[in-house]
Amino acid sequence: MTRRALSATMEEKYHHKEDFPVQFRYQRALCLLLMLFLILSTVPGTSGLPAALAEDTADVAVHSAPLERSAATRNGMVRVRLLSIGSNPASLTVTAVGAMAVSGGQTMALSGGEQISISHSSATGEIRLTRGSETVSMGREMALRRRQTDGGFRIAQARRPQNVYPGDLHLVSKLESGAYRLYVVANVYIESYLYGVVPYEMGSSSALEALKAQAVAARTYTLRAMNANASKVYDVVDTTADQVYNGSPAERDRAAEAVDATRGIVAMNDGKLTGTYYTASNGGQTESARNAWGSSGVNYLTVKDDPFDRMNPYSSTRKMTIYAAFSHASQNQTLTRLLQAKAPNATILRIEAVTPHTPKYAAPSRLYTKLDFDVTALVDGETRRLTLTFDIFSELESALNLSINTTKNELWSVKADGETFVLTVRRYGHGIGMSQRGAQQMANLGYTYDQILGFYYENCVRMQYTFTHTILPPVGDAPVTATEAPATISPAAPNQAMVTLVNVEDVLNVRLTASDNGTLLTTLPAGTAVTVLAKGDNWTLIRFGRIVGYVRTENLTFTGTPPTQSDENPTPITRWATVTGTNSLNLRASGSYDAAVQSTIPGGAVLCVFAVENGWASIQYGAKTGYCAAEYLTFSDTYPGKTSQTGRSAMVRTATALRATPSTAAVVLMTLPQGVQIAVQSSDGSWCRVTAGGIDGYVLASSLDFSAVGIELTPVPTTSGEQTAIVNSTASTLNLRQGAGTEYPVLAEIPKGTSIIVTAYGETWCAVRWGSLTGYVMTQYLRFDVPTATPTPGGTPTPGATPEPTASPEPSEAPTPVPAASEPPAKVEDDVSAGSYVAWVSADNAPLRQAMAADAAVLATIPRGTQVTVLAQDGGWCYAAVGQMTGYFTADALSCEQPDAPLGQKYVSTKSDSLAMRQSPNAGASIVQWLPRGALVTFISQENGWSYIRYGGKEGYCASQYLSDSAPGAVVISDTPILDVTLEKVTGWTASIRQAETLYQWCSADAPETAKVEADLVLTVLEKGEIWCRVRTEEGEEGYCLTSRLTLIAPEN
């Protein structure tokens, strides 16, 4: 069986200053293992809808694994093959720790500190022992057995030769395939064994509750192996093939505390030891054993979403930014070549959408295998929309350097962000069972280890055994077997609730009073566990760590029957702080550098401050409280972190398909019209699971607006003799006509999938009602849920009174494609038709969009001063005609008065890269946005080498030297070095990178490469500029990197 060894970066490897905490990192990938003892279970069906997605916590259930105690006593001695020394070592150097007895071909006694040498012949199988100057034959099997519980041995050839193996050493030579192989086996008590497993699998700096869960998982895994391998030479090996074991560290740490706190406890499902597989990071969704390994699977190792792993900032990810403007200066050149190769006869202009789809396994799996690029391109001189489809694992992953594992099982998601798409790749390891990053996050959010186990191994119970410990007595050869007392377990905390939000990136506000206007105390991430003090209809008083405050009741999922009254008062917090000047900071037990480190806090984290004294701040981070050095904090009188912005519903930005599964190839259940409000059950950044009009399905996340409020989709009532039908047209809409024939005017276009009322049925035409509109549609494009009992028999219904055509219909129960015109702003010029008016474009290059959404497709860019006809207005949007085109403008882009002549325009003319727009005319000012090379900006004014400009609706300053009156030409690739003229030499500056980057010989992505730098490394900054920085790696490699790719850290004052 193979396992992932999540190892912490040890103290001795990184020599940080005292206030720079030790950070652990994953060192190697999880191997896949074959499950031997899984029972058959039903294969998850493909019918119905998938469960909630990983960003959702509404459907996430966290239950404690109940505790049971067994009267049985189990053998506690585990046999560990020290495979890390070698599969067939020729020699070993062993040092006795305490008195030991040697047996085999010869018997002897070793004193503590005495060293012996052991050699092995693969030809004869003979084991020889050298003690001092004497060498003796021990035959083909020998043992060193300790005579005291704190004794054991060290091996010079071990990975950590200073660590003690606290047990007996057995050496066995076996004939295999014509040669003898030496098996080196340590016989160790199970709890002592875990002292050397847990810190190397998870890292001692993890939260205690996460380490406890790791200890139980490791203990359970070990006991399963002991049962399975009882007839073999060993139970487990000391590598990632089972669990990493390096002997016992010299000092006790938090990992040892976690082992002791759970002593004797294992996990069980259905009366059998649980398959407690664990993985470094599942990427936000657990994988099933059946999918990954082809085994029969068990009911507690299935595909389900894990918001805790996803929200952990330390979970392994690879990211890439894709720019909507195809020729953007920072566009990934490999991606550019791949897209162009897919459309060799087209000139790609824009990337309109990036959509992952086609999961590898049945729902609810989100292991997508395809990625679609919806692009606008010139084909034979005409503008067309093309869809370019790639296989994620064979065409993109390696080419774009986005691979994390070798097993092609990463989870890909895309999030639209203005003019960019952020592509994120997640999952490190096989993804089965407990995510170690998820467990760490759950612990940070206040969950206990029994809840962590209950979440990852559903319906498991904690079974506590008493284990036996075998050792030789101080005198004699008869082993002594004693029982070790199990840990004393405290009862679980009562009255818990979980923060339930749509998106894992959202937060819940905690306030001083039960009001949306109450002072903000802190925020809680989705999935946080809180203690309920008093539940109310609208507000609930909760405790989180030391903080007591009010949260919205609707955003909590309760367990049991919570209390409704409490004597506790909210915690008044008046000061907050942000961790600055360091990548991470130690949280200590007291205000002293000598105090124990309880946890590490990442740079940029927001803390609640209780007091500051003698250079130390008493704070709370997550659910943890403690002290940290005040010199690394920036204090604030108001909460400086992210606050809640979204709810549990959203408006459809543009008409979109509601699909049965999260795939563009899935069955379309109905078409959701623009402007309707739908309930969002979950979101993974690419797809949302929603409920619309009583139907559950999936829509693209980019088609929803969480900040807007639309029209509710409600079932349309029918009267006697009427029935409901669904528009099932081949096109996206069906014409509602004034009469029963194509010669009649079109009153409205009804979206496909819409429910309408049939008032009279005919073979060719039906009389229908849609909202307040009545008219006729073709019968062949309707779908009836039950056999049609025609209200009015006959070939063609008898039309009733035909309503007057309405330019902008306003149905009451369902939305209309075109919003009703509101009163025009101030001045109305020549009325083209009832409800319309003339206006002018007052913004610079205003986008005319396909729908009422800021990220809707741009039909055309309309220059300032262009006259348009406004046909309808709805809130902040105007539906307008420009020549033969119609589309949507934002209302503030139009004016009823013709604007003055436009301001001057200039082009961004950097050598090859983007230009920073800053908040003030200063190279150290905050960056508002990056301007792509060749961008046309509105020039407002100039002073002291800085230009005040407008671009993309934002205003700011940029260096005048990078603006010109003419568009820049193509970037010329040459051997002539390019330099960023803003570069200045600096000292004491460092920088970290968020993802793997390339360093270049000069300031250009076309320059020769000097080095490849992995994500999360810290670089020394030699020169700092607006666009580029010159940096040096720890290995001394130097080169240039885009400033936008770096997180710059100023020197200490």
- Work out the average pLDDT over 540-556: 91
- C-alpha 266/C-alpha 462 separation (Å) is 6
Q: What is the pLDDT of residue 838?
A: 77
| Sequence letter at residue 130 | T
Which residues sit opposite 668 in a β-bridge? 659
- C-alpha 351/C-alpha 419 separation (Å) is 9
Domain 714-800 has CATH 3.30.1330.20: no
User: In a 10 Å sphere around its CB, with 0-12 CB exposed, 13-18 middle and 19+ buried, how is residue 1041 labelled?
Assistant: buried
Q: What is the pLDDT of residue 13?
A: 26
Give yes or no for residue 428 having a pLDDT over 80: yes
- Most confident region among 398-412, 719-733, 862-876, 903-917 by mean pLDDT: 398-412
Domain 984-1049 has CATH 1.25.40.340: no
The band of 924, judged by pLDDT with boundaries at 50, 70 and 90, is low
Q: What is the pLDDT of residue 9?
A: 29
Give yes or no for residue 1046 having a pLDDT over 90: no
Domain 904-964 has CATH 2.30.30.40: yes
- What is the fold of 649-705? SH3 type barrels. (2.30.30)
Residue 801: count other Cβ atoms within 10 Å of its Cβ. 5
- Most confident region among 408-412, 831-835, 1030-1034 by mean pLDDT: 408-412
Q: What is the pLDDT of residue 34?
A: 29
Query: Cα 617 vs. chain centroid, distance in angstroms?
Result: 31
Q: Structure tokens of 925?
A: 């000012």
Q: Which is higher by pLDDT, 244 or 1036? A: 244
| DSSP symbol at 8 | P
Query: Cα 400 vs. chain centroid, distance in angstroms?
Result: 19
CATH 2.30.30.40 domain position(s) in the chain: 496-558, 576-636, 649-705, 714-800, 904-964, 984-1049
Helix, strand or coil, per DSSP, at residue 724: strand
Instruction: Give me the percent of the chain exceeding a pLDDT of 90.
Output: 38
Closest CA to 976 of 996, 1003, 958, 951: 1003
Residue listed under structure tokens 């089965």: 432
- C-alpha 314/C-alpha 135 separation (Å) is 53
Instruction: Give me the percent of the chain exceeding a pLDDT of 70.
Output: 81
Give yes or no for residue 369 having a pLDDT over 90: yes
- Cα of first residue to Cα of last residue in the chain, in angstroms, is 52
Q: Are 292 and 432 in contact (CB under 8 A)?
A: yes
Put the strands of the sheet holding 723-727 in their side by side order: 746-751, 733-737, 773-778, 765-770, 755-760, 723-727, 782-784
Residues with Cβ within 8 Å of residue 1035, at least 6 apart in sequence: none
Closest CA to 50 of 686, 669, 557, 697: 697
Reported as a single tens digit per residue, the pLDDT across 669-704 is 777 777 778 888 766 666 788 887 667 788 888 788
- C-alpha 523/C-alpha 641 separation (Å) is 8
DSSP code string of 520-545 = EEEEEETT-EEEEEEE-SSEEEEEET
Helices (H) and strands (E) in the chain, counts: 9, 78
Q: What is the pLDDT of residue 593?
A: 92
Reported as a single tens digit per residue, the pLDDT across 745-797 is 887 778 777 778 888 888 888 888 877 678 889 888 888 754 333 333 333 34
Q: Are 112 and 98 in contact (CB under 8 A)?
A: yes
| DSSP symbol at 195 | H
3-state secondary structure 305-365: ECHHHHHCCCCCEEEEEEECECCCCCCCHHHHHHHHHHCCCCEEEEEEEEEEEEECCCCCC
- C-alpha 915/C-alpha 1044 separation (Å) is 10
Cα dist. 478→79, 101, 188, 316, 927 in Å? Answer: 19, 12, 18, 51, 76
pTM given for the model: 0.56
The CATH label, of 3.40.50.150, 2.30.30.40, 1.10.3720.10, 2.115.10.20, for the domain at 576-636 is: 2.30.30.40
- Work out the average pLDDT over 871-897: 77
The CATH label, of 2.30.30.40, 1.10.3720.10, 2.10.10.90, 3.40.50.1000, for the domain at 496-558 is: 2.30.30.40
Reported as a single tens digit per residue, the pLDDT across 575-594 is 999 999 888 899 999 999 99
The band of 1051, judged by pLDDT with boundaries at 50, 70 and 90, is confident
Give yes or no for residue 535 having a pLDDT over 90: yes
Q: What is the pLDDT of residue 781?
A: 86
- C-alpha 6/C-alpha 27 separation (Å) is 7
Q: What is the pLDDT of residue 751?
A: 75
697-724 CB burial, b ≥16 within 10 A, e <16: bbbbbbbbbbebebbebeebeeeeebbb
- C-alpha 55/C-alpha 443 separation (Å) is 18
Give yes or no for residue 820 having a pLDDT over 50: no
- C-alpha 970/C-alpha 412 separation (Å) is 33
Give yes or no for residue 45 having a pLDDT over 50: no
Q: Structure tokens of 403?
A: 């691979």
The band of 976, judged by pLDDT with boundaries at 50, 70 and 90, is very low
Angle between helices 449-456 and 208-228 (to 10 degrees): 50
Residues with Cβ within 8 Å of residue 268, at least 6 apart in sequence: 220, 274, 460, 461, 462, 463
Closest CA to 638 of 685, 582, 577, 692: 577
Q: What is the pLDDT of residue 335?
A: 96
Q: What is the pLDDT of residue 260?
A: 94
Give yes or no for residue 862 having a pLDDT over 60: yes
Q: What is the pLDDT of residue 735?
A: 86
- C-alpha 1031/C-alpha 1014 separation (Å) is 14
Reported as a single tens digit per residue, the pLDDT across 440-491 is 999 988 889 999 999 999 989 999 999 999 888 776 777 777 777 777 776 6
Average pLDDT, the chain: 80
- Work out the average pLDDT over 161-176: 94
- C-alpha 1023/C-alpha 462 separation (Å) is 57
- C-alpha 42/C-alpha 288 separation (Å) is 12
Q: Are 172 and 89 in contact (CB under 8 A)?
A: no
3-state secondary structure 269-316: ECCEECCCCEECECCCEEECHHHHHCCCCCCCCCCEECHHHHHCCCCC
Residue listed under structure tokens 């990983």: 54
What is the phi/psi pair of residue 942, to 5°? -145, 140
Q: Which is higher by pLDDT, 890 or 810? A: 890
DSSP strand pairing (520-525 vs 529-535): unpaired
Q: What is the pLDDT of residue 194?
A: 96
Helix, strand or coil, per DSSP, at residue 980: coil
The band of 607, judged by pLDDT with boundaries at 50, 70 and 90, is very high
Reported as a single tens digit per residue, the pLDDT across 79-135 is 999 999 999 999 999 999 999 999 998 999 999 999 999 999 999 999 999 999 999
